[in-house]
Amino acid sequence: MRYLTAGESHGPRLTAIIEGVPAGLPLTAEDINKDLKRRQGGYGRGGRMKIESDQVEITAGVRHGKTTGAPITLNVTNKDHQKWLEIMAVEDIEDRLKTKRKITHPRPGHADLVGGMKYRFDDLRNSLERSSARETTMRVAVGAVAKRILAELDIEIANHVVVFGGKEIDVPDGLTVDQIKELAQQSEISVVNQDREQEIKDYIDQIKKEGDTIGGVVETIVGGVPAGLGSFVQWDTKLDAKLAQAVVSINAFKGVEFGVGFQAGYRKGSEVMDEILWNEEEGYTRRTNNLGGFEGGMTNGQPVVVRGVMKPIPTLYKPLMSVDIETHEPYKATVERSDPTALPAAGVVMESVVATVMAQEILDKFSSDNLEELKAAVAAHRDYVKHF
């Protein structure tokens, strides 16, 4: 399964084309729209989220509620494009209009300046439009399709925030993936510990008044994963490496860890390795899951636990200094649009890209022209590894 996305932040629409989805997968627009709505939610959002209410249009690859095996095309219309018709026009326009809303003041922490250097833009809007986090709309849409595949294979996925603006969130022990999903989705800030909800909201309000922003750490958990996904034979076949690349590719994400992650550098080997157990009912299990479901770049049958760190949103209402690319004079950075935090929404994006990579790996390993064939192949594999 592979996909491409296209579209600009203020263009007419965003588009994704997905190829390699098995035939016979039940899929509706609502399966995707519910995740698009989640992406636009969360405490601390504003501005564009009040303008847009994303709805997907499926224009290829699905007939009578099921995928056909042909490429799937997804489109999301940008409703506020009507205000940007001249600025974002495809056709050439008059010189006086070319200078309207032209951007020459790059914002620190964004792709504005470096994109202009790389592609030789004299209008940094060309960098801004495609590098915008608006692009993640389509990665959530693709992820929703991936999650439909995973659900058919009894693989469940959830995300929640474990660090919010430097404040660590205690997570009760023994929660299942379903319980984490339910608790996090009940929370406006995507935390499972409801006792911290108001404290974090008050902190977000304080940050907003200060004209500042905060980031944090999101944890995504995938349960029901078969052992043996990924490979150790080459560097680019290791599944944890593929997941790390996917997570860091999300706007503003700067780091990834699995299981105990960087804490492994502070512990002894006896405190990190997961002892192997076996019983008739479950087959092979581990006493702990410190390695986050991976050994040797492959899944070991334990839940996949991956965390990603999101930096604070770089656009500040109390702008930092920058330099005009035409005059090279100092200038306070442009404020395009900003929220004090987008961490809950970023968690939805992270969940989506993790689901996509997991689905891609499954479809690569198992026969998957159609859903029935895929389900039979996965079931046979699970039975095999259980009795290995």
Dist CA 387 CA 367 (whole Å): 21
User: What single-letter amino acid sits at 298?
Assistant: M
Go through 155-192 and write b for each residue having 16 or more CB atoms within 10 A of its CB, e for each that does not.
bbbbbbbbbbbeeebeeeeebebeebbebbbebebbbb
Report the amino acid identity of residue 259.
Answer: G
CA distance 388 to 384: 6
- Residue type, position 362, single letter: I
Q: Is 45 annotated in some ligand binding site?
A: yes
Q: Is 289 labelled a binding residue? A: no
313 carries a ligand binding annotation: yes
Q: CB-based contacts of 90: which residues, under 8 Å, 6+ apart?
A: none
Q: Contact at 8 Å (CB) between 303 and 293? A: yes
314 assigned to a ligand binding site: yes
Torsion on CA atoms 81, 83, 85, 87, rounded to nearest 10: -110
Which positions ≥6 away from 160 have C-beta within 8 Å?
169, 171, 180, 183, 184, 190, 191, 192, 218, 219, 347
Check whether 134 is labelled as a binding-site residue: no
39 assigned to a ligand binding site: yes
Residue 159 marked ligand-binding: no
- Would you say 28 is a known binding-site residue? no
215 close to 350: Cβ distance less than 8 angstroms: no
Known binder of ligand: residue 315?
A: yes
DSSP letters of 41-76? -STT--THHHH----EEEEESEETTEE-SSPEEEEE
What SS3 class is residue 356? helix
Distance CA 106, CA 308 (A): 26
Helical residues (DSSP H) of 95-237, grouped into ranges? 95-98, 112-119, 125-131, 136-152, 177-186, 197-209
- Known binding residue 130? Answer is yes
Q: Would you call 279 helix, strand, or coil by DSSP?
A: strand
Could you tell me which residues are annotated as the binding site for FMN?
Answer: 130-132, 251-252, 296, 311-315, 337
Could you tell me which residues are annotated as the binding site for NADP(+)?
Answer: 39, 45
Could you tell me which residues are annotated as the binding site?
Answer: 39, 45, 130-132, 251-252, 296, 311-315, 337
